[in-house]
Each structure stands twice: as C-alpha cells, then as structure tokens.
Amino acid sequence: MSNTEYRINKILRDHSINKSELAEIACTTPQNITHWISRNAISRKKAKLISDKLGYNLNWLLFGGEENIKESELNPVEWESLSKEEQTDGKFITIPVLDVELSAGFGTCPTTEIEMYTLPFMARTLKERSIPIDMAKVVKVTGDSMEPRLFDKDIISINTADTRIRDGKIYAVRVNDLQKVKILIRNTDGTITLRSYNPNYADEIISKEQIENGDFQVLGRMWWHSSLDD
C-alpha cells in the first residue's frame, strides 16, 4: 500500500465516508482520487481543500509523517465530573467545528455534518451560560447580510438547546431547505420576522402556516463568534 493510499484510507475511516463523498469534499471526481493513489501523490490544491474542510495537516496530506489531524491537545471534560476547584481553575472542553455553513444572505442548503476539528473553550464559560456541552456547535458564516455584526467567513457557536425566541437575538434557522443566521423577532400576529443587520436586505416574514407545517425551525441561538483572517 502506498503512503498516499494509507492517508486516503485513514481519512475515509476517520469520517465514515467513501471515495465519492471525499471527492465531493475535494471538488474532484472519484477517478482522480484513484489517480492520486496510483501515482502516490495528491495535488496541492486538492490537499488544501481537504485540509481546510476536514482539519488535516496539509504537510501530512502531501508528504506523510507522524502528524496527521489538527486536533486540540486539550481533552474534553464533562462539567459534572469537575470538582469545585476544577470549575474555576481554567479547565477546558472542546467543541466540534462542523463542515456546515450558515448563510448571512439568502440561504444555503444543509449539508452532512462532518466534524473537521475542535476548538477549546473554558468549561466555566459554558456553565455560566447554562449551555450543555454536547449541544454547542461551531459553524461558518457566509455572505454579508449580517454585516457589520458578522462578516463572511466568521465562525460562530450556537447553543442548539436554546431555541426559544428572544426578540433581537441572533439565531441559526432553517427555512424550508435553506439554513440562515438572522435576528429573530416574534410578532403579535404569530408570525416571525427574520432581520439582517445589513440594510440592503429586506425583512423576511415567516407565516404561521410555515411554522405549523414545519417549514421553519430554530436551530439554536448564537452565543459566541470570532472573525477569521482571509
């Protein structure tokens, strides 16, 4: 088995995906993946895509070696398992970063949730906000409708256990088959307003029928965000 074949097989096992799914992630074809194996080399451009989306070290993808996936060196801990002293001495948990995009625009279609890597957070931060550790997710924002609050390529964490609408707060939502990040406002007539920070985007009204039919779903409330450099 070539080194490249070993690395590709490891990626497939790590994420329980097949060559076709890996090809989709790398914006290529399953035939090209077969070619990588036969010539024992991955193109740098495609390796970079895999690195960005799945969290693997680019040098490992290209050349092999000991280092493989970019994981946090901090071990996850359950809040309930910590002593009172540990709860205040800087213990960390890790939250998965998913290969999912929320549109700050007109919406993106939902994708399979693939965990790319993890980000460390102080355990007491989640405890203070009453966020269950296993209900916090980190995803990427695309588009400009939430500027200047959120920018394209920002990453945000949502609390998927917090779906009760508080007027003026930012939520991840699903409208039909599209996923978005918007300000939510509950109206007196039973409808819900989806509002953007960017004034170039008009309010979107979610009707009572959409809510009753399951065409609208609150996925969780944003509790943290960070800007990524280009």
Looking at the fold, whether 128 and 85 belong to one and the same domain comes out as yes
The CA distance from 115 to 145, in Å, is: 26
How long, in residues, is the chain?
230
Q: Structurally, how many domains does the chain consist of?
A: 2
Residues 58 and 91 in one domain: no
Same domain, yes or no, for 113 and 16?
no
Domain identity same for 217 and 170: yes
Give the pLDDT band (50/70/90) at residue 194: very high
Is the same domain home to 87 and 158?
Answer: yes
Q: How far is CA 29 from CA 24, 42, 112, in A?
A: 7, 13, 18
pLDDT of residue 186: 95
* 69 domain-assigned: no
Does residue 73 fall inside a structural domain? no
pLDDT of amino acid 87: 44
Any domain includes 22: yes
Domain that holds residue 96: 79-226
- What is the rounded CA–CA span in Å between residue 93 and residue 95? 7
Residues 106 and 31 grouped into a single domain: no
Q: Is residue 71 part of a domain?
A: no
Same domain as 29, residue 128: no
Same domain for 39 and 91: no
> 136 CB contacts (<8 Å, ≥6 apart)?
95, 121, 126, 157, 158, 159, 160, 223
**DSSP reduced 3-state for 214:** coil
The span from the CA of 197 to the CA of 183, in Å, is 8
The answer, as to whether pTM is greater than 0.85, is: no
- In this structure, the answer to whether residues 39 and 96 fall within a common structural domain is no
Q: What are phi and psi of 193, to 5 degrees?
A: -95, 130
- Res 230 pLDDT > 50: no
Q: Report the CATH number that the domain containing residue 157 is assigned in CATH.
A: 2.10.109.10
Q: What does DSSP assign to residue 107? A: -
Mean pLDDT for all residues in the chain: 79
Q: What is the CATH number of the domain that holds 17?
A: 1.10.260.40
Tell me, yes or no, whether 204 and 108 share the same domain: yes
Which tens digit of pLDDT belongs to each residue from 55-89?
778 878 887 765 444 443 334 444 444 454 544 44
| Joined tokens for residue 21 | 């799914």
**Taking residues 188-212, what's their average pLDDT?**
94
> Among the three residues 39, 63, 87, which one is the final residue of a domain in this structure?
63
Residue-wise pLDDT tens digits, 25-39: 888 888 888 988 888
Lowest mean pLDDT among 19-23, 109-113, 225-229: 109-113
- The beta-carbon contacts of 80-83 under 8 Å, at least 24 apart in sequence, are 82/123
Maximum pairwise Cα distance, the chain: 65
